[in-house]
Chain A
């Protein structure tokens, strides 16, 4: 994607210009570069989950069966693309720094994707403001620095880029646009399956409707059946490619559909039910975007071309409210209890950005530097609040070292037995799993678990049992009861709450680490661990597919985007709104 150029021989006020994409990416580097170099995302909730998966790919690229959690599970239950890139880079940079690099690439891709996506509806200048906004979204900072949702932040820009080419294909029938749209869609699917599922509806349908509305704009003479038939061609090829690229995932889902008891999640609650929900899911991720909602509503519904985009945004925004309204529960049925809804805020924000770009143009044209200062300050505050949020709320536990735990498990044949951590939190549990050779009965990725002691109780990870109330404690009790069956001999405790239960169940305290912070409990007479009957090992063929096609789709997308340059005429094309009467500031802007 090249930056827009200025009209020769024409003086344009600085504030009236399109911001070049190269400057926007530089801004992304300025904002997120230092934060990533400080490795802030390492403390996010899911960072170690991704690193744990990546560490397995680094050592067993073509064998997605991982015995380190749930007594053994298949990593084909989660799309692997960004974790495989992380695995490749880890050989050079190590896991922690590789995570930052992979996350940074996703952040750099986002403004490019938003620019391309926004251009479907607005001119280059508004699209460039939308791209700037994407860097400073509270929901992006929330996902990167608090939630650690690497996959969501990777998949979204790839889909946005794909949608730009999808729009071009449906209107112009250009095969190069179709190829790029397909490759980017496959790559996005390889990055995140949930984004795939929802993007295909909430993001794509408004683009398709807009393509139908624009079929005769700007000298095009496409027919409605033509646009729809090209969309069908894209859908058929897209789905076929996704099935091929993620084939082992679908096999795994077929044999082990998600039937476990729903696990509670705060994003499914009413956000007005308490102050934490209110701030964590509304104020922090939306930030200053909340102030733009009146404009988004009025503008999005006033302009006929913006209405499909607005409706997509509105539905996604309602879903982002989780259990605050009854609509997500009614629309999604059982899926409501499997999904988490913080990522919908990110998607809704992305869909609002083209309209907010128009707002920025209006305000800057009217108020000049004052508008730039106010909008810039509010956006900066939004990012700052989201990055700093984990510092100010007390739910995250203080960091502690798990080195003694991994050293114990890796010496003297202790890995013949299985282990469990209690009070570690999922992030620390994943860190132990990454560096220890032993197998745990517990695990982090809920959709991969098959042990009945976990699936039948409606609680999350065993390490967090107490937080799930009686369900969590019953689940833990069931696991302790079957310790001999699973070869569960060692339990590492970082919360004295669990000690009476362990003592009652036959474990004895054996060692103490980290100045008493972590204790090791051992049960005598437990037989060594044996493979369990749960889960289905992927076949060697599936392992080869999994090790080649997902990452291959991202390489293919990259090659196609480089090899088939964008049509500058189309990129510069400006489909005008009735309300915009200003002189064009760019040669390409008409």
Chain B
């Protein structure tokens, strides 16, 4: 049961990361050193 749930969560996590690759941020990326943290 635990392993199945773990696999489901792992797949869900990977799916979320994959979905994030499609979305483009609406704000420009800053390249300032301060923007690094």
Contact B9 A266 (CB under 8 A): no
Is B28's CB under 8 angstroms from A471's CB?
yes
B27 proximity list for chain A (CB < 8 A) = 262, 264, 268, 337, 458
Q: Are B33 and A323 in contact (CB under 8 A)?
A: no
A417 to B6 Cα, complex, angstroms: 62
- Contact between chains at B35 and A265 (CB < 8 Å): yes
- A266 and B35 contact, CB distance less than 8 A: yes
Kindly state the separation between the CA atoms of A425 and B34 in the bound complex, as whole angstroms: 7
Q: In the bound complex, do residue A467 and residue B30 qualify as a contact, i.e. CB atoms below 8 Å apart?
A: yes
Residues of B within 8 A of A460 (CB): 30, 32, 34-35
A311, closest chain B residue (CB): B9
Interface residues of B in 5-35 (CB under 8 A from A): 5-6, 9-10, 13, 16-17, 19-21, 23, 25, 27-35
Residues of chain A with a CB closer than 8 A to B32's CB:
460, 464, 467-468
Please name all residues of chain B whose beta carbon is closer than 8 Å to the beta carbon of A280 when the two chains form the complex: 36
With an 8 Å Cβ cutoff, the count of chain A residues facing the other chain is: 53
Taken residue by residue from 135 to 155, chain A's Cβ proximity to chain B (1 for < 8 Å, 0 otherwise) reads as 000000000001111000000
Query: Assuming A264-B27, A264-B30, is B37 touching A147 (CB within 8 A)?
Result: yes
**A429 to chain B: closest residue by CB:** B34
Bound together, the chains give a CA A47 to CA B11 distance in angstroms of: 40
B residues within 8 A CB of A461? 34
A-B pair number, CB within 8 angstroms: 110
Interface residues on B, range: 20 to 34
Q: Which residues of A contact B1 (CB under 8 A)?
A: 302
Q: Would A272 and B34 be within 8 Å (CB), given that A297-B10, A301-B5 are in contact?
A: no
Complex CA–CA separation, A160 to B36 (angstroms): 27
One digit per residue, 1 when the CB lies within 8 angstroms of any chain B CB and 0 when it does not, for chain A 555-575 equals 000000000000000000000
Q: Which of A63-71, A324-332, A510-518 makes up part of the contact surface?
A: A324-332
Interface core residue of A268, A301, A469 (most chain B CB under 10 Å):
A301
Given A297-B9, A298-B3, A318-B16, are A397 and B21 neighbors across the interface (CB < 8 Å)? no
Query: In the complex the two chains form, what is the Cα distance from A464 to B32 in whole Å?
Result: 7
Q: Which of B19, B31, B33 contacts A325 (CB 8 A)?
A: B19
| Contacts A270-B21, A326-B19 given; does A467 touch B31 at CB 8 Å | yes
**Chain B CB within 8 A of A507 CB:** no
- B10 / chain A contacts, CB cutoff of 8 Å: 294, 297
In the complex, what residue of chain A is closest to B14 when comparing beta carbons? A325
Q: How far is the CA of A471 from the CA of B25 in the complex (A)?
A: 16
- Per-residue interface assignment for chain A, residues 299 to 327, with 1 indicating a CB less than 8 Å from any chain B CB and 0 otherwise: 11111000000000010001001011111
Given contacts A266-B36, A323-B25, contact A302 B30 (CB under 8 A): no
**Residue A588 CB within 8 A of the other chain:** no
Set B23, B29, B36: member contacting A45, Cβ < 8 A: B36
Determine if B17 and A302 form an interchain contact, defined as CB atoms under 8 angstroms apart: no
Judge whether A340 is part of the interface by a CB distance below 8 angstroms. Answer: yes
A30 at the interface (CB under 8 A from B): no
Whether A396 lies near B35 (C-beta < 8 A) is no
> In the complex, what residues of A have CB within 8 A of residue B17's CB?
272, 321, 324-325
The interface residues of chain B lying within 8 Å CB-to-CB of A318 are: 13, 16
Interface 1/0s, chain A 421-435, versus B by CB < 8 A?
Answer: 000011100000000
Q: Which chain B residue has the least Cβ–Cβ distance from A317?
A: B13
> Are A302 and B2 touching (Cβ within 8 A)?
yes
- In the assembled complex, the CB of A580 is this many whole angstroms from the nearest CB of chain B, namely 15
Residue A395, interface by CB 8 Å: yes
Which residues of B pack against A, CB within 8 Å? Answer: 1-3, 5-6, 9-10, 13, 16-17, 19-21, 23, 25, 27-37
User: Sorted from nearest, which 4 A-B pairs have the closest CB atoms?
Assistant: A302-B2, A467-B32, A325-B16, A301-B5
**Sample (24) of A-B pairs whose CB atoms are under 8 Å apart:** A45-B34, A45-B36, A147-B37, A263-B30, A265-B30, A268-B25, A270-B20, A270-B23, A276-B36, A298-B3, A301-B9, A302-B2, A314-B13, A321-B16, A323-B23, A324-B20, A325-B20, A326-B23, A337-B27, A342-B37, A461-B34, A467-B31, A469-B30, A471-B28
